[in-house]
Structure 1
Amino acid sequence: MKLPRLASVAATLTALAGLVLGGAGVAAAQEAAATSYVALGDSYSSGVGAGNYDSSSGSCKRSNSAYPVLWKNANAPASFHFTACSGAKTTDVINNQLGPLNSGTTLVSISIGGNDAGFADAMTTCVLQGTNACVARINEARQYIAGTLPGRLDAVYSAIRSKAPNARVVVLNYPRFYKINGSCVVGLSETSRQAINDAADHLSDVIAKRVADHGFTFGDVRGRFTGHEICSGDPWLHSVDWLNITNSYHPKAAGQSGGYYPVLEGLA
Protein backbone atom coordinates (compact mmCIF):
# COMPACT_ATOMS: atom_id res chain seq x y z
CA MET A 1 0.00 0.00 0.00
CA LYS A 2 2.94 2.36 0.65
CA LEU A 3 4.68 1.72 -2.66
CA PRO A 4 2.71 4.30 -4.70
CA ARG A 5 3.45 6.96 -2.07
CA LEU A 6 7.17 6.10 -2.13
CA ALA A 7 7.14 6.27 -5.89
CA SER A 8 5.50 9.67 -5.71
CA VAL A 9 8.13 10.96 -3.28
CA ALA A 10 10.91 9.60 -5.47
CA ALA A 11 9.44 11.28 -8.52
CA THR A 12 9.18 14.57 -6.65
CA LEU A 13 12.82 14.36 -5.50
CA THR A 14 13.93 13.55 -9.04
CA ALA A 15 12.05 16.55 -10.39
CA LEU A 16 13.57 18.83 -7.75
CA ALA A 17 17.04 17.51 -8.52
CA GLY A 18 16.45 18.25 -12.18
CA LEU A 19 15.44 21.80 -11.36
CA VAL A 20 18.54 22.32 -9.21
CA LEU A 21 20.90 20.87 -11.79
CA GLY A 22 19.18 22.74 -14.58
CA GLY A 23 19.45 25.95 -12.61
CA ALA A 24 23.15 25.29 -12.04
CA GLY A 25 23.62 24.79 -15.77
CA VAL A 26 21.85 28.05 -16.55
CA ALA A 27 23.93 29.85 -13.92
CA ALA A 28 27.15 28.46 -15.40
CA ALA A 29 26.12 29.56 -18.89
CA GLN A 30 25.22 33.02 -17.61
CA GLU A 31 28.58 33.29 -15.80
CA ALA A 32 30.49 32.36 -18.97
CA ALA A 33 28.47 34.85 -21.00
CA ALA A 34 29.38 37.61 -18.51
CA THR A 35 33.10 36.81 -18.70
CA SER A 36 35.51 39.40 -20.05
CA TYR A 37 38.59 37.38 -21.09
CA VAL A 38 42.06 38.66 -22.03
CA ALA A 39 44.73 36.20 -23.24
CA LEU A 40 48.31 37.38 -22.71
CA GLY A 41 51.69 35.74 -23.11
CA ASP A 42 54.31 34.30 -25.42
CA SER A 43 54.31 31.84 -28.32
CA TYR A 44 52.87 29.02 -26.21
CA SER A 45 49.79 31.18 -25.72
CA SER A 46 49.70 32.71 -29.20
CA GLY A 47 49.78 29.21 -30.70
CA VAL A 48 53.04 29.08 -32.65
CA GLY A 49 53.35 25.57 -34.04
CA ALA A 50 49.59 24.98 -34.23
CA GLY A 51 49.08 26.54 -37.68
CA ASN A 52 45.81 28.19 -38.68
CA TYR A 53 47.20 31.66 -37.97
CA ASP A 54 45.19 34.86 -38.01
CA SER A 55 46.77 36.79 -40.89
CA SER A 56 46.14 40.09 -39.13
CA SER A 57 48.39 39.06 -36.21
CA GLY A 58 51.57 39.29 -38.28
CA SER A 59 54.75 38.14 -36.56
CA CYS A 60 52.84 37.51 -33.31
CA LYS A 61 51.47 34.39 -35.06
CA ARG A 62 48.19 34.11 -33.16
CA SER A 63 46.56 30.82 -34.08
CA ASN A 64 42.88 30.08 -34.27
CA SER A 65 43.86 26.67 -32.86
CA ALA A 66 45.50 28.19 -29.75
CA TYR A 67 43.97 27.43 -26.36
CA PRO A 68 42.65 30.99 -25.75
CA VAL A 69 40.59 30.82 -28.95
CA LEU A 70 39.44 27.29 -28.15
CA TRP A 71 38.23 28.51 -24.75
CA LYS A 72 36.51 31.50 -26.33
CA ASN A 73 34.75 29.30 -28.88
CA ALA A 74 33.56 26.88 -26.19
CA ASN A 75 32.38 29.46 -23.66
CA ALA A 76 31.25 32.50 -25.68
CA PRO A 77 32.48 35.17 -23.25
CA ALA A 78 31.03 38.66 -23.39
CA SER A 79 34.37 39.99 -24.65
CA PHE A 80 37.65 38.45 -25.78
CA HIS A 81 41.01 40.11 -26.42
CA PHE A 82 43.96 38.05 -27.67
CA THR A 83 47.25 39.96 -27.30
CA ALA A 84 49.72 37.08 -26.77
CA CYS A 85 52.67 37.33 -29.14
CA SER A 86 55.44 35.05 -30.37
CA GLY A 87 58.79 35.85 -28.77
CA ALA A 88 57.31 37.88 -25.92
CA LYS A 89 59.24 38.40 -22.69
CA THR A 90 57.88 39.77 -19.44
CA THR A 91 58.73 43.34 -20.47
CA ASP A 92 56.87 42.89 -23.76
CA VAL A 93 53.74 41.85 -21.89
CA ILE A 94 53.98 44.93 -19.66
CA ASN A 95 54.70 47.33 -22.51
CA ASN A 96 52.54 45.94 -25.32
CA GLN A 97 49.83 43.53 -24.16
CA LEU A 98 47.97 45.00 -21.18
CA GLY A 99 45.85 47.56 -23.05
CA PRO A 100 42.57 45.60 -22.93
CA LEU A 101 42.77 44.99 -19.17
CA ASN A 102 40.49 46.99 -16.87
CA SER A 103 38.40 46.65 -13.73
CA GLY A 104 35.74 44.81 -15.74
CA THR A 105 38.13 42.06 -16.85
CA THR A 106 37.12 38.81 -15.15
CA LEU A 107 39.56 36.27 -16.65
CA VAL A 108 43.20 36.53 -17.71
CA SER A 109 45.43 33.72 -18.97
CA ILE A 110 49.18 33.92 -19.57
CA SER A 111 52.29 31.85 -20.23
CA ILE A 112 55.53 33.81 -19.85
CA GLY A 113 59.12 33.37 -18.71
CA GLY A 114 60.59 30.92 -21.21
CA ASN A 115 61.97 33.63 -23.48
CA ASP A 116 63.34 35.62 -20.54
CA ALA A 117 65.25 32.50 -19.48
CA GLY A 118 66.68 32.10 -23.00
CA PHE A 119 65.17 28.71 -23.73
CA ALA A 120 65.22 29.27 -27.50
CA ASP A 121 68.94 29.99 -27.46
CA ALA A 122 69.57 27.07 -25.12
CA MET A 123 67.73 24.66 -27.40
CA THR A 124 69.70 25.93 -30.41
CA THR A 125 72.93 25.31 -28.53
CA CYS A 126 71.80 21.81 -27.63
CA VAL A 127 70.92 20.94 -31.21
CA LEU A 128 74.05 22.37 -32.83
CA GLN A 129 76.88 22.05 -30.30
CA GLY A 130 76.61 18.72 -28.52
CA THR A 131 76.07 17.48 -24.99
CA ASN A 132 78.71 19.41 -23.04
CA ALA A 133 77.74 22.76 -24.56
CA CYS A 134 74.06 21.91 -24.10
CA VAL A 135 74.39 21.12 -20.41
CA ALA A 136 76.50 24.23 -19.82
CA ARG A 137 73.95 26.48 -21.56
CA ILE A 138 71.05 24.86 -19.72
CA ASN A 139 72.85 25.48 -16.43
CA GLU A 140 73.15 29.17 -17.37
CA ALA A 141 69.41 29.26 -17.97
CA ARG A 142 68.78 27.63 -14.59
CA GLN A 143 70.86 30.29 -12.86
CA TYR A 144 68.81 33.00 -14.54
CA ILE A 145 65.57 31.25 -13.61
CA ALA A 146 66.63 31.06 -9.95
CA GLY A 147 68.17 34.51 -9.62
CA THR A 148 66.63 37.01 -12.05
CA LEU A 149 63.37 35.58 -13.34
CA PRO A 150 61.39 35.78 -10.06
CA GLY A 151 61.67 39.57 -10.06
CA ARG A 152 60.64 39.72 -13.73
CA LEU A 153 57.59 37.57 -13.01
CA ASP A 154 56.70 39.71 -10.01
CA ALA A 155 56.75 42.80 -12.22
CA VAL A 156 54.41 41.38 -14.86
CA TYR A 157 52.05 39.78 -12.35
CA SER A 158 51.83 43.03 -10.36
CA ALA A 159 51.12 44.96 -13.57
CA ILE A 160 48.30 42.56 -14.45
CA ARG A 161 46.73 42.85 -11.00
CA SER A 162 47.00 46.64 -11.05
CA LYS A 163 45.17 46.85 -14.39
CA ALA A 164 42.67 44.04 -13.72
CA PRO A 165 41.99 44.04 -9.96
CA ASN A 166 38.91 41.82 -10.20
CA ALA A 167 40.17 39.18 -12.64
CA ARG A 168 40.87 35.52 -12.06
CA VAL A 169 44.41 35.14 -13.43
CA VAL A 170 45.44 31.69 -14.67
CA VAL A 171 49.17 31.27 -15.28
CA LEU A 172 50.07 28.26 -17.41
CA ASN A 173 53.53 26.72 -17.47
CA TYR A 174 55.51 24.72 -20.05
CA PRO A 175 55.57 20.95 -20.62
CA ARG A 176 58.56 18.69 -20.31
CA PHE A 177 59.96 18.44 -23.81
CA TYR A 178 61.27 14.87 -24.02
CA LYS A 179 60.24 11.36 -23.17
CA ILE A 180 63.40 9.88 -21.68
CA ASN A 181 64.46 6.54 -23.19
CA GLY A 182 61.79 7.05 -25.80
CA SER A 183 61.60 6.26 -29.48
CA CYS A 184 64.24 8.73 -30.74
CA VAL A 185 67.35 6.96 -32.03
CA VAL A 186 69.13 10.06 -33.34
CA GLY A 187 69.44 13.66 -32.25
CA LEU A 188 70.24 14.87 -28.75
CA SER A 189 71.84 12.62 -26.17
CA GLU A 190 69.73 11.37 -23.28
CA THR A 191 71.90 13.50 -21.01
CA SER A 192 70.90 16.62 -22.95
CA ARG A 193 67.24 15.61 -23.00
CA GLN A 194 67.23 15.05 -19.24
CA ALA A 195 68.94 18.39 -18.63
CA ILE A 196 66.29 20.16 -20.73
CA ASN A 197 63.45 18.43 -18.88
CA ASP A 198 64.98 19.25 -15.50
CA ALA A 199 65.29 22.92 -16.48
CA ALA A 200 61.65 22.98 -17.60
CA ASP A 201 60.65 21.58 -14.20
CA HIS A 202 62.80 24.19 -12.46
CA LEU A 203 61.09 26.92 -14.46
CA SER A 204 57.68 25.52 -13.53
CA ASP A 205 58.62 25.46 -9.84
CA VAL A 206 59.69 29.12 -9.90
CA ILE A 207 56.56 30.17 -11.80
CA ALA A 208 54.32 28.24 -9.38
CA LYS A 209 55.89 29.96 -6.36
CA ARG A 210 55.49 33.45 -7.79
CA VAL A 211 51.92 32.66 -8.88
CA ALA A 212 50.99 31.53 -5.36
CA ASP A 213 52.54 34.62 -3.78
CA HIS A 214 50.43 36.85 -6.02
CA GLY A 215 47.23 34.95 -5.31
CA PHE A 216 46.87 33.79 -8.91
CA THR A 217 45.97 30.29 -10.17
CA PHE A 218 48.69 27.96 -11.47
CA GLY A 219 47.76 25.80 -14.45
CA ASP A 220 50.18 22.87 -14.68
CA VAL A 221 50.13 21.30 -18.16
CA ARG A 222 52.84 18.70 -17.53
CA GLY A 223 50.40 15.95 -16.65
CA ARG A 224 48.41 16.52 -19.81
CA PHE A 225 51.57 16.25 -21.96
CA THR A 226 52.88 13.11 -20.24
CA GLY A 227 53.04 10.44 -22.92
CA HIS A 228 52.97 13.09 -25.64
CA GLU A 229 56.50 14.49 -25.38
CA ILE A 230 59.05 14.48 -28.19
CA CYS A 231 60.32 10.90 -28.61
CA SER A 232 56.97 9.47 -27.51
CA GLY A 233 54.69 7.50 -29.79
CA ASP A 234 52.24 10.40 -30.07
CA PRO A 235 54.13 13.69 -29.68
CA TRP A 236 52.12 16.87 -29.19
CA LEU A 237 55.30 18.96 -29.52
CA HIS A 238 57.35 19.68 -32.61
CA SER A 239 60.95 18.53 -32.55
CA VAL A 240 63.43 20.53 -34.63
CA ASP A 241 61.59 21.55 -37.79
CA TRP A 242 64.23 22.55 -40.33
CA LEU A 243 61.58 23.50 -42.90
CA ASN A 244 59.81 25.88 -40.49
CA ILE A 245 62.23 26.55 -37.67
CA THR A 246 59.79 28.64 -35.61
CA ASN A 247 57.66 25.52 -35.05
CA SER A 248 60.51 23.82 -33.20
CA TYR A 249 59.75 22.89 -29.59
CA HIS A 250 56.25 24.36 -29.73
CA PRO A 251 52.93 22.55 -29.23
CA LYS A 252 51.14 21.24 -32.27
CA ALA A 253 47.41 21.83 -32.62
CA ALA A 254 46.91 18.62 -30.61
CA GLY A 255 49.02 20.06 -27.81
CA GLN A 256 46.88 23.17 -27.68
CA SER A 257 43.58 21.26 -27.71
CA GLY A 258 44.65 18.25 -25.64
CA GLY A 259 47.25 19.86 -23.39
CA TYR A 260 46.59 23.53 -22.71
CA TYR A 261 42.87 23.97 -23.35
CA PRO A 262 41.62 21.38 -20.82
CA VAL A 263 43.80 22.90 -18.08
CA LEU A 264 42.40 26.37 -18.68
CA GLU A 265 38.85 25.01 -18.97
CA GLY A 266 39.22 23.23 -15.65
CA LEU A 267 40.46 26.36 -13.85
CA ALA A 268 38.55 29.18 -15.52
Structure 2
Amino acid sequence: MLSLPRTLSATVVAVTVAAGTAFVTPTAHAASASNYAALGDSYSAGVGAGNYLPDSGACKRSANSYPALWNNSHPGGGFAFVACSGAKTADVRAGQLSVLNSATTLVTISIGGNDAGFVDTVKSCVLGSDNDCSVAVDKAKTYATTKLPADLDATYAQIHNRAPNARLVVLGYPRLFELGGCFLGMSTYKRTILNQAADTLADITRGRAGAANADYADVRNRFAGHGVCGSNPWINGIKLPIDESYHPNGAGQSQGYLPALQATVGATVGARP
Protein backbone atom coordinates (compact mmCIF):
# COMPACT_ATOMS: atom_id res chain seq x y z
CA MET A 1 0.00 0.00 0.00
CA LEU A 2 1.47 3.36 -1.00
CA SER A 3 2.20 5.67 1.92
CA LEU A 4 2.63 9.37 1.12
CA PRO A 5 3.60 12.35 3.26
CA ARG A 6 0.62 14.40 4.44
CA THR A 7 1.49 17.40 2.25
CA LEU A 8 1.68 15.27 -0.87
CA SER A 9 -1.41 13.30 0.07
CA ALA A 10 -3.36 16.54 0.48
CA THR A 11 -2.38 17.61 -3.02
CA VAL A 12 -3.19 14.20 -4.42
CA VAL A 13 -6.65 14.07 -2.85
CA ALA A 14 -7.50 17.64 -3.84
CA VAL A 15 -6.60 17.04 -7.47
CA THR A 16 -8.33 13.66 -7.40
CA VAL A 17 -11.53 15.42 -6.41
CA ALA A 18 -11.20 17.80 -9.35
CA ALA A 19 -10.51 14.96 -11.75
CA GLY A 20 -13.36 12.86 -10.42
CA THR A 21 -15.94 15.55 -10.98
CA ALA A 22 -15.14 16.46 -14.57
CA PHE A 23 -17.85 14.84 -16.68
CA VAL A 24 -17.04 14.53 -20.36
CA THR A 25 -19.66 13.85 -23.02
CA PRO A 26 -19.09 10.44 -24.71
CA THR A 27 -17.28 10.44 -28.01
CA ALA A 28 -19.48 10.50 -31.08
CA HIS A 29 -18.63 7.04 -32.34
CA ALA A 30 -19.79 5.48 -29.05
CA ALA A 31 -23.26 6.98 -29.39
CA SER A 32 -24.71 4.29 -31.63
CA ALA A 33 -27.44 1.83 -30.77
CA SER A 34 -26.30 -1.55 -29.48
CA ASN A 35 -27.45 -4.74 -27.78
CA TYR A 36 -25.38 -4.05 -24.65
CA ALA A 37 -25.00 -0.52 -23.28
CA ALA A 38 -22.73 0.24 -20.33
CA LEU A 39 -23.74 3.51 -18.67
CA GLY A 40 -22.67 5.26 -15.51
CA ASP A 41 -19.75 6.80 -13.68
CA SER A 42 -16.07 6.04 -13.05
CA TYR A 43 -16.77 2.71 -11.35
CA SER A 44 -18.41 1.47 -14.55
CA ALA A 45 -15.86 3.20 -16.80
CA GLY A 46 -13.07 1.33 -15.02
CA VAL A 47 -11.08 4.27 -13.67
CA GLY A 48 -8.34 2.74 -11.54
CA ALA A 49 -8.01 -0.42 -13.63
CA GLY A 50 -5.62 0.97 -16.26
CA ASN A 51 -5.44 0.10 -19.97
CA TYR A 52 -7.67 3.00 -20.97
CA LEU A 53 -9.20 3.16 -24.41
CA PRO A 54 -7.42 5.88 -26.41
CA ASP A 55 -10.60 7.50 -27.66
CA SER A 56 -12.28 7.74 -24.26
CA GLY A 57 -10.39 10.85 -23.17
CA ALA A 58 -11.09 12.12 -19.67
CA CYS A 59 -13.90 9.56 -19.29
CA LYS A 60 -11.10 6.97 -18.91
CA ARG A 61 -12.98 3.90 -20.07
CA SER A 62 -10.83 0.86 -19.41
CA ALA A 63 -10.39 -2.34 -21.38
CA ASN A 64 -10.09 -3.95 -17.92
CA SER A 65 -13.52 -2.72 -16.78
CA TYR A 66 -16.36 -5.11 -16.11
CA PRO A 67 -18.37 -3.86 -19.14
CA ALA A 68 -15.45 -4.52 -21.49
CA LEU A 69 -14.76 -7.91 -19.90
CA TRP A 70 -18.45 -8.87 -20.16
CA ASN A 71 -18.55 -7.84 -23.80
CA ASN A 72 -15.39 -9.83 -24.56
CA SER A 73 -16.99 -12.97 -23.11
CA HIS A 74 -20.26 -12.45 -25.03
CA PRO A 75 -19.19 -11.86 -28.64
CA GLY A 76 -21.55 -11.28 -31.51
CA GLY A 77 -23.62 -8.39 -30.20
CA GLY A 78 -23.24 -4.63 -30.35
CA PHE A 79 -21.54 -2.79 -27.50
CA ALA A 80 -21.95 0.87 -26.54
CA PHE A 81 -19.57 1.80 -23.72
CA VAL A 82 -20.37 5.34 -22.59
CA ALA A 83 -19.76 5.29 -18.82
CA CYS A 84 -17.68 8.30 -17.84
CA SER A 85 -15.59 9.48 -14.92
CA GLY A 86 -17.40 12.03 -12.77
CA ALA A 87 -20.86 11.33 -14.17
CA LYS A 88 -23.92 12.13 -12.09
CA THR A 89 -27.48 11.00 -12.74
CA ALA A 90 -28.22 14.17 -14.72
CA ASP A 91 -25.17 13.54 -16.90
CA VAL A 92 -26.42 10.06 -17.71
CA ARG A 93 -29.81 11.40 -18.71
CA ALA A 94 -28.33 14.24 -20.78
CA GLY A 95 -25.36 12.54 -22.40
CA GLN A 96 -25.50 8.75 -22.31
CA LEU A 97 -29.01 7.61 -23.24
CA SER A 98 -28.67 8.21 -26.98
CA VAL A 99 -27.07 4.76 -27.32
CA LEU A 100 -30.31 3.06 -26.25
CA ASN A 101 -33.19 1.87 -28.43
CA SER A 102 -35.68 -0.98 -28.75
CA ALA A 103 -32.91 -3.37 -29.90
CA THR A 104 -30.93 -2.95 -26.69
CA THR A 105 -31.13 -6.11 -24.61
CA LEU A 106 -28.89 -5.33 -21.64
CA VAL A 107 -28.08 -2.08 -19.83
CA THR A 108 -25.71 -1.86 -16.87
CA ILE A 109 -25.10 1.18 -14.70
CA SER A 110 -23.45 2.35 -11.50
CA ILE A 111 -24.50 5.88 -10.56
CA GLY A 112 -25.32 8.04 -7.54
CA GLY A 113 -22.01 8.31 -5.70
CA ASN A 114 -21.11 11.60 -7.34
CA ASP A 115 -24.60 12.99 -6.75
CA ALA A 116 -24.19 12.36 -3.04
CA GLY A 117 -20.72 13.94 -3.02
CA PHE A 118 -18.77 10.93 -1.86
CA VAL A 119 -15.53 12.16 -3.49
CA ASP A 120 -15.59 15.32 -1.37
CA THR A 121 -16.60 13.21 1.61
CA VAL A 122 -13.54 10.98 1.30
CA LYS A 123 -11.36 14.06 0.87
CA SER A 124 -12.73 15.54 4.11
CA CYS A 125 -12.06 12.31 5.92
CA VAL A 126 -8.50 11.90 4.62
CA LEU A 127 -7.46 15.48 5.32
CA GLY A 128 -9.64 16.46 8.28
CA SER A 129 -10.37 15.43 11.83
CA ASP A 130 -12.77 12.74 12.96
CA ASN A 131 -15.37 15.47 13.45
CA ASP A 132 -14.77 16.89 9.96
CA CYS A 133 -15.25 13.40 8.57
CA SER A 134 -18.43 12.87 10.55
CA VAL A 135 -19.96 16.13 9.31
CA ALA A 136 -19.11 15.28 5.69
CA VAL A 137 -20.50 11.76 5.98
CA ASP A 138 -23.74 13.03 7.52
CA LYS A 139 -24.13 15.50 4.64
CA ALA A 140 -23.63 12.76 2.04
CA LYS A 141 -26.04 10.42 3.81
CA THR A 142 -28.66 13.18 4.03
CA TYR A 143 -28.48 13.71 0.27
CA ALA A 144 -28.59 9.97 -0.35
CA THR A 145 -31.75 9.55 1.71
CA THR A 146 -33.63 12.72 0.73
CA LYS A 147 -32.70 13.70 -2.85
CA LEU A 148 -30.96 10.78 -4.49
CA PRO A 149 -34.07 8.56 -4.71
CA ALA A 150 -35.73 10.99 -7.13
CA ASP A 151 -32.49 11.29 -9.13
CA LEU A 152 -32.31 7.52 -9.50
CA ASP A 153 -36.02 7.13 -10.27
CA ALA A 154 -35.79 9.63 -13.12
CA THR A 155 -32.68 7.97 -14.52
CA TYR A 156 -34.02 4.42 -14.44
CA ALA A 157 -37.35 5.54 -15.92
CA GLN A 158 -35.66 7.20 -18.88
CA ILE A 159 -33.49 4.12 -19.46
CA HIS A 160 -36.60 1.94 -19.61
CA ASN A 161 -38.31 4.42 -21.91
CA ARG A 162 -35.38 4.46 -24.31
CA ALA A 163 -34.73 0.71 -24.11
CA PRO A 164 -38.11 -0.92 -23.38
CA ASN A 165 -36.89 -4.44 -24.18
CA ALA A 166 -33.67 -4.28 -22.19
CA ARG A 167 -32.81 -5.85 -18.89
CA LEU A 168 -31.46 -3.14 -16.57
CA VAL A 169 -28.81 -4.20 -14.06
CA VAL A 170 -27.83 -1.63 -11.44
CA LEU A 171 -24.47 -2.34 -9.84
CA GLY A 172 -23.74 -0.96 -6.39
CA TYR A 173 -20.57 0.32 -4.77
CA PRO A 174 -18.26 -1.58 -2.41
CA ARG A 175 -17.26 -0.50 1.06
CA LEU A 176 -13.94 1.27 0.55
CA PHE A 177 -12.01 0.27 3.65
CA GLU A 178 -10.86 -2.59 5.79
CA LEU A 179 -10.57 -1.75 9.47
CA GLY A 180 -7.04 -3.03 10.11
CA GLY A 181 -3.84 -0.97 10.11
CA CYS A 182 -3.84 1.87 7.61
CA PHE A 183 -2.16 5.15 6.67
CA LEU A 184 -2.70 8.90 6.27
CA GLY A 185 -4.35 9.28 9.65
CA MET A 186 -7.47 7.41 8.54
CA SER A 187 -8.67 6.32 11.94
CA THR A 188 -10.81 3.26 12.47
CA TYR A 189 -13.67 5.63 13.25
CA LYS A 190 -13.34 7.43 9.90
CA ARG A 191 -13.17 4.21 7.96
CA THR A 192 -16.14 2.80 9.85
CA ILE A 193 -18.44 5.73 9.14
CA LEU A 194 -17.36 5.88 5.49
CA ASN A 195 -18.28 2.21 5.16
CA GLN A 196 -21.59 2.94 6.84
CA ALA A 197 -22.20 5.68 4.28
CA ALA A 198 -21.53 3.14 1.52
CA ASP A 199 -24.16 0.91 3.12
CA THR A 200 -26.68 3.76 3.12
CA LEU A 201 -26.01 4.37 -0.56
CA ALA A 202 -26.42 0.66 -1.27
CA ASP A 203 -29.74 0.48 0.59
CA ILE A 204 -31.15 3.47 -1.28
CA THR A 205 -29.93 2.23 -4.66
CA ARG A 206 -31.24 -1.28 -4.10
CA GLY A 207 -34.64 0.06 -3.16
CA ARG A 208 -34.97 2.37 -6.15
CA ALA A 209 -33.69 -0.30 -8.55
CA GLY A 210 -36.34 -2.70 -7.27
CA ALA A 211 -39.05 -0.05 -7.63
CA ALA A 212 -37.94 0.43 -11.25
CA ASN A 213 -38.16 -3.28 -12.06
CA ALA A 214 -34.38 -3.43 -12.41
CA ASP A 215 -31.95 -6.00 -11.03
CA TYR A 216 -29.52 -4.90 -8.33
CA ALA A 217 -26.03 -6.43 -8.11
CA ASP A 218 -24.61 -5.92 -4.63
CA VAL A 219 -20.80 -6.08 -4.68
CA ARG A 220 -20.09 -5.50 -0.99
CA ASN A 221 -19.67 -9.14 -0.02
CA ARG A 222 -17.47 -9.81 -3.04
CA PHE A 223 -15.14 -6.97 -2.06
CA ALA A 224 -15.11 -7.93 1.64
CA GLY A 225 -11.50 -8.32 2.78
CA HIS A 226 -10.21 -6.53 -0.32
CA GLY A 227 -10.77 -2.88 0.57
CA VAL A 228 -8.18 -0.18 1.12
CA CYS A 229 -5.87 -1.24 3.99
CA GLY A 230 -6.45 -4.93 3.21
CA SER A 231 -3.59 -7.32 2.48
CA ASN A 232 -4.86 -7.92 -1.07
CA PRO A 233 -6.76 -4.74 -1.97
CA TRP A 234 -9.08 -4.58 -4.96
CA ILE A 235 -9.54 -0.85 -4.36
CA ASN A 236 -6.75 1.67 -4.77
CA GLY A 237 -5.70 3.88 -1.89
CA ILE A 238 -4.04 7.18 -2.70
CA LYS A 239 -1.84 6.53 -5.70
CA LEU A 240 -0.59 7.92 -8.96
CA PRO A 241 -2.20 8.64 -11.40
CA ILE A 242 -4.12 10.59 -8.83
CA ASP A 243 -7.57 10.12 -10.32
CA GLU A 244 -7.28 6.35 -9.79
CA SER A 245 -7.38 6.78 -5.99
CA TYR A 246 -10.31 5.10 -4.23
CA HIS A 247 -11.41 3.22 -7.34
CA PRO A 248 -11.37 -0.53 -8.05
CA ASN A 249 -8.19 -1.83 -9.63
CA GLY A 250 -8.10 -4.54 -12.29
CA ALA A 251 -8.80 -7.28 -9.76
CA GLY A 252 -11.76 -5.32 -8.40
CA GLN A 253 -13.25 -5.15 -11.87
CA SER A 254 -12.54 -8.77 -12.88
CA GLN A 255 -13.05 -10.50 -9.52
CA GLY A 256 -15.52 -8.15 -7.87
CA TYR A 257 -17.78 -6.46 -10.41
CA LEU A 258 -17.71 -8.94 -13.28
CA PRO A 259 -18.79 -11.97 -11.19
CA ALA A 260 -21.54 -9.86 -9.61
CA LEU A 261 -22.88 -9.04 -13.07
CA GLN A 262 -22.55 -12.64 -14.22
CA ALA A 263 -24.40 -13.93 -11.18
CA THR A 264 -27.19 -11.40 -11.66
CA VAL A 265 -27.71 -11.84 -15.39
CA GLY A 266 -27.10 -15.59 -15.57
CA ALA A 267 -26.72 -17.43 -18.84
CA THR A 268 -29.27 -15.49 -20.88
CA VAL A 269 -29.99 -11.85 -21.59
CA GLY A 270 -33.43 -10.91 -22.78
CA ALA A 271 -36.35 -8.69 -22.11
CA ARG A 272 -36.98 -7.81 -18.50
CA PRO A 273 -40.03 -9.49 -16.98
- Taking structure 1 as the reference length, what is the TM-score of the superposition? 0.85
In the other structure, the counterpart of 2:253 is 256
SS at match of 2:237: coil
In the other structure, the counterpart of 2:162 is 163
Contact residue 110 and residue 170 of structure 1 kept, 8 A: yes
Contact residue 130 and residue 188 of structure 1 kept, 8 A: no
Tell me how far 1:184 sits from its aligned partner.
1.8
Contact residue 176 and residue 222 of structure 1 kept, 8 A: yes
Equivalent position amino acid for 1:176 in 2: R
Tell me how far 1:222 sits from its aligned partner.
0.7
Alignment of 1:201-212 (within 5 A): 201-212=199-210
Question: C-alpha deviations, 1:181-217, integer Å up to 9, x for none?
Answer: x132553111110010000000000000000001100
In the other structure, the counterpart of 2:115 is 116
Alignment of 1:138-157 (within 5 A): 138-157=137-156
SS at match of 2:234: coil
Tell me how far 1:143 sits from its aligned partner.
0.3
Tell me how far 1:244 sits from its aligned partner.
2.1
Equivalent position amino acid for 2:201 in 1: L
Question: C-alpha deviations, 1:111-142, integer Å up to 9, x for none?
Answer: 00000000001111111112110111000000
- C-alpha distance in 1, partners of 2:147/2:71? 34
- C-alpha distance in 2, partners of 1:99/1:77? 21
In the other structure, the counterpart of 2:24 is none
Poorly superposed stretches of 4+, deviation over 4 Å? none
- C-alpha distance in 2, partners of 1:244/1:128? 19
Equivalent position amino acid for 1:183 in 2: G
Choose from 198, 201, 204 the match for 1:200.
198
In the other structure, the counterpart of 1:213 is 211
Larger helix share, 1 or 2: 1
Equivalent position amino acid for 2:70 in 1: W
Alignment of 1:69-148 (within 5 A): 69-148=68-147
Q: Which runs of 5+ in 2 are unaligned?
A: 1-33, 266-273
- Percent identity between matched residues is 51
In the other structure, the counterpart of 2:43 is 44
Question: C-alpha deviations, 1:204-242, integer Å up to 9, x for none?
Answer: 00000000001100000111101111111100001122x
In the other structure, the counterpart of 1:29 is none
Contact residue 71 and residue 261 of structure 1 kept, 8 A: yes
- C-alpha distance in 1, partners of 2:217/2:150? 20
- C-alpha distance in 2, partners of 1:184/1:134? 16
Bigger RCO (CA 8 Å, 6+ sep): 2
- C-alpha distance in 2, partners of 1:192/1:266? 32
- C-alpha distance in 2, partners of 1:77/1:45? 21
Please identify the structure whose Cα radius of gyration is greater. Answer: 1
- C-alpha distance in 1, partners of 2:183/2:210? 40
- The count of corresponding residues between Structure 1 and Structure 2 is 232
In the other structure, the counterpart of 1:66 is 65
- C-alpha distance in 2, partners of 1:266/1:145? 27
Contact residue 36 and residue 77 of structure 1 kept, 8 A: no
- Taking structure 2 as the reference length, what is the TM-score of the superposition? 0.83
Equivalent position amino acid for 2:155 in 1: V
Moved more, 111-120 or 69-78: 69-78
Q: Determine whether 1:240 maps to 2:238.
A: yes
